[in-house]
Amino acid sequence: MNSKSYDVIVVGAGHAGIEASLAGARMGLKTLLLTMNLDSVGQMSCNPSIGGLAKGQVVREVDAMGGEMAKNTDISGLQFRMLNMSKGPAVQSPRAQCDKKLYQFTIKHTVELQPNLDLKQGEVARLVFEVAGNSKRVVGIVMKSGIEYSAQAVVLTTGTFMKALLHYGMDHAPGGRSGEGRSETLSDGLRGIGFEVGRMKTGTPMRINSKTIDYSKCIIQPGDEPPVPFSHFTESITQKQLPCWLTYTNELTSQIIRENLDRSPLYSGKIKSIGPRYCPSIEDKVVKFPHHGRHQVFLEPEGYTTEEVYVNGLSTSLPEDVQLEIVRTVPGLERAEIMRAGYAVEYDFCPPTQCHPTLETKLAEGLYFAGQICGTTGYEEAAGLGFMAGVNAALKIKGEPPFVLKRDEAYIGVMIDDLVTKGVDEPYRLFTSRAEYRLQLRSDNADLRLMDYGYKFGLISEDMYQRFCEYRRTVGGDPRVAPVENLWSNEKVLAQIAIQKKYAGYLARQAQVISKFRRAESKEIPDNFDYDSIPGFLNESRQKFKRIRPKTLGQAARIPGIPPSCVGVLSVYLERRLRARKASLLGQI
């Protein structure tokens, strides 16, 4: 039963799917967003926070190009902080604790109100492809109910739901999130048509009742006053701000964990996949860092109208009785009651080296991956990937050139290049240290770097863009332009001018390095380049070139394990090919 035809279908309504579907719809394409549960659209499954080191930059980058995450954070945020204020602006990042249900319901309503966008509940059973020789092109999807939807592009943002398995101590059950089901057949279908499919793991801590916490034994962690908005389009934060609290584990906590490692699915062998290195469980912390006598525990409210508190720092999949023992060793939590136990989840993903820098898959035309299916972890990484996949799907359908951000343009560019060039062997998380040009990629100048793109794609309104242009002329030092009122405050103008003046020398030197980088990026490698025809390559290098299919000489040089000598040989042959092509064209003239 062919129910309906769309331009773009987005599978999964988490943070990646929301940005992908909104981008496609706002670019004028008929878009369908599918989710297994309408009540979980935009849900903050783990920490109800947005931003953090490098992550905050990604949120502001998405916002500068017309995305939604920052605006929604400003509406639902209950505490805003700028991290690393004692350090330079290159590593300062915004972070906000949110009311998780307010965030979820607000962004769901945004999706529901968006023209050109349909939101529907149902499980996708399989993708439909058109095959011609060795090439495949996605042409739609089939629901578990049997209903078919056709499309010119499909964006998969499956999160932790493909073949997902929940672990609670030594017990396990199918599910991509506590209380929810999983996608049973989608990853099998991907594997069946030739995709490599791997396995990853993530986890979440327990939630405890605020009424059972003795906050007098904890250290208060207030937010910034006044709170600084995430979005470039938010004038001010007006809602009440709430504090978070800090406490610590101790040797008794570690002792209980060590005594119960045989009941941990992570250490008993039940969980075989790899979890996020930079967001480890408390079991991992105790085992891998035995010399640390204590570990930080942040108590973070989950909303204005709930007593649930997120115990940041105690992510665990130990049995619930052990979790309670652990919690009650922590100062301030001696009488704490667990409202929801922590757990771990294993799920299927597709190694991202199977994607082009546009996030379109190499194996199937019109099929895009975004979010945790690419091996990432975090709401912000998902939003950045989803936005880029949605934009590129729309551009392809419109017959326009693809959109690829370079490493010197955005953290999003760094992330995608890392993923498609280097791949992942653990859940990928962004840090400022991953960016070579982080002095240029600051949170304060995301609009100056990227808003032109958003306007070009029709995602930034004419009024907002003209006000931005006034702001840009002002911070550029044009004395004829008066300071901008309302949208960009005078304080922001002065702060931006001060940063540019203070770091002018460093920025100039980095500009020289970026110029060299861009020369390498400008040397394009044809998709059909025959690596077998070039002598002098190591066999391993030849295999990696053929697998990754780098788009530029710069990307080729960043493939792990490729020696500079092979890059040099490739550069010579590219130059020869270019000269031969020029000579051929001159001969034709």
Mean pLDDT along residues 541-561: 93
DSSP string, 245-285: EEEE--HHHHHHHHHTGGG-HHHHSS--SB--TTS--HHHH
Are 26 and 105 contained in the same domain?
yes
Q: Does 144 lie in the same domain as 34? A: yes
pLDDT confidence of 1, banded at 50, 70, 90?
A: very low
Q: Are residues 161 and 108 located together in one domain of the fold? A: yes
Q: Flag whether 449 is in a domain.
A: no
Q: What's the pLDDT at 280?
A: 87
Same domain, yes or no: 114 and 181: yes
Q: Return the C-alpha torsion angle 408, 412, 418, 424, nearest 10.
A: 160
Q: Which two tokens stand for residue 45?
A: 């499954």
One domain for residues 330 and 221: yes
% of the chain at pLDDT higher than 70: 97
Phi-psi region of 430 (alpha: psi -120 to 50; beta: other; left: phi over 0): beta
Would the pLDDT of 2 be above 70?
A: no
420: domain CATH number is 3.50.50.60
Please indicate, yes or no, whether residues 210 and 286 belong to a single structural domain of this protein.
yes
Same domain, 84 and 139: yes
- Tell whether the model's pLDDT for residue 477 goes beyond 70: no
Reported as a pLDDT band with limits 50, 70 and 90, residue 256 is very high
Based on the domain organization, do 232 and 313 belong to the same domain?
A: yes
Mean pLDDT score of the chain: 93
Q: What is the CATH number of the domain that holds 545?
A: 1.10.150.570
For tokens 């916002």, the residue is: 63
Q: What's the confidence (pLDDT) of residue 589?
A: 63
- Out of 326, 343, 360, a domain closes at 343
pLDDT tier for residue 485 given thresholds of 50, 70 and 90: low
Q: How far apart are CA 250 and CA 26, in angstroms?
A: 51
pLDDT tens digit string along 300-330? 999 999 999 999 999 999 999 999 999 999 9
Boundaries of domain holding 237 = 203-343
Amino acid identity, position 466: Q
Answer yes or no: is pLDDT of 538 > 90.
no
Q: Environment class of residue 285 by beta-carbon count within 10 Å: exposed (0-12), middle (13-18) or buried (19+)?
A: buried
Per-residue pLDDT for 65 more than 80? Answer: yes
Query: Residue 354: inside a domain, yes or no?
Result: yes
284 shares its domain with 252: yes
Structure tokens belonging to residue 575: 């130059």
pTM of the model: 0.94
| pLDDT reading at 484 higher than 90 | no
Give the whole-angstrom CA distance, residue 350 versus residue 198: 6
Q: Which of 343, 364, 397 is the last residue of a domain?
A: 343
**Tokens representing 313?**
């720092």
Domain contains 78: yes
What's the CATH code of the domain at 249?
A: 2.40.30.260
Side chain identity, residue 361: T
Same domain (yes/no): 93, 158: yes
State how far Cα 365 lies from the chain centre. Answer: 23
Q: What is the pLDDT of residues 272-289, one digit of tens each?
A: 888 888 788 999 999 999
Residue 455, domain member (yes or no): no
Query: 429 lies in a domain?
Result: yes
Which of 317, 343, 369 is the C-terminal boundary of a domain? 343
Q: So what's the pLDDT on residue 489?
A: 67
Q: Residue 453 falls within a domain, yes or no?
A: no
**pLDDT-wise least confident of 188-197, 218-227, 516-525:** 516-525
Pairing of strands 117-121, 31-35: parallel
Is the bond leading into 174 cis (omega within 30 degrees of zero)?
Answer: no
**Residue 569 falls inside a structural domain:** yes
Number of Cβ atoms within 10 Å of the Cβ of 58: 33
Q: CA 52 to CA 471: how far, in whole Å?
A: 26
What is the structure's pLDDT at 479?
A: 47
Would you call 513 helix, strand, or coil by DSSP? helix
Residues 486 and 378 both lie in one domain: no
Q: How far apart are CA 375 and CA 430, in angstroms?
A: 12
Q: Both 372 and 248 in a single domain?
A: no
One-letter amino acid of 301: P
How many domains is the chain built from? 4
Distances (CA, A) of 102 to 48, 98, 249, 305, 347: 10, 8, 31, 10, 27
Assess contact for 386 and 370: CB atoms under 8 A: yes
Q: Decide if pLDDT at 231 tops 50.
A: yes
| Local confidence band at 4 (pLDDT 50, 70, 90 cut-offs) | confident
* Tens digits of residue pLDDT in 74-123: 999 999 999 999 999 999 999 999 999 999 999 999 999 999 999 999 99
- 450 burial level (CB within 10 Å; 0-12, 13-18, 19+): buried
Determine, yes or no, domain membership for 490. yes
